Amino acid sequence: RETGDLQCLVDAMQLYEYEVKKVELHDASPLKLKVCKSIMMIGIKKVAIQRILEDADIRGHEVFLEYQEDAADDAGSQTAEKSSFEAVWRAAETMTEAIDIIKGELMPVFPPTWNVFPIWAACVGSVCSQYIVQQIGGQEGNNLTLLTPNQLLQLMSFIENFREKVGHDSTTMLASNKAEFVTVNDLMRGEMIEAADESLVRVLTVLWH
């Protein structure tokens, strides 16, 4: 039902966009143009995508919190460091496995020209990056020496799995010695929504580095 409601909303927004463009092309009276342009400045599509990112951000943090709470309950059976790592890794894997579901069931609702999937995937990657960066002691990796070889392999496996799910490989990474962290708030800016593919590459670059 929720997907059906969303489809109706998207269809209505597409119809609205079409009518606005038609007015601009065929009825260029000053008053109508002024109204159309002022409404378009609101950016209905941008606002809709921002809401999608907000929901993804909230859900992402909920997933990590759930695993962290479970880890805290089981902390007696293993060290705090190992328990914390397992919580972050399992949450990140859960988020990654959900990508196929979202891609198959939700993304077809949106027209391809909206390019929603890359910016949504960038949001998921940003949330995962935030917790991973905290776990390894910042972008400098101050706590990497505390991880076991198996844990390092798990992190690498997650990064490879995530890149595969979103359809990118190492050749798309930015040629930069230091990747600037991309927050969800950054992704909600209009220019990053419009450049969705580039935004996803920036997030993937942070994970890679």
For the segment 140-149, the average pLDDT, to the nearest whole number, is: 84
Question: Residue 208 has which token pair?
Answer: 């890679």
Considering only the C-alpha atoms of the chain, give the largest distance between any 2 of them, rounded to a whole number of Å.
73
Tokens standing for 209? Answer: 């580095």
Please identify which residue in the block is written with the tokens 């490879």: 160
Task: Say how far residue 51 (Cα) sits from the centre of its chain.
Answer: 12
- Please give the single-letter amino acid code of residue 98: A
Give per-residue pLDDT as tens, 72-89.
776 555 576 778 888 999
**What tokens appear for 59 in the block?**
């859900």
Q: Which of 32-41, 102-111, 174-183 has the highest mean pLDDT?
A: 102-111
23 has a pLDDT exceeding 80: no
pTM for this prediction: 0.76
CA-nearest of 121, 139, 98 to 199 is: 121
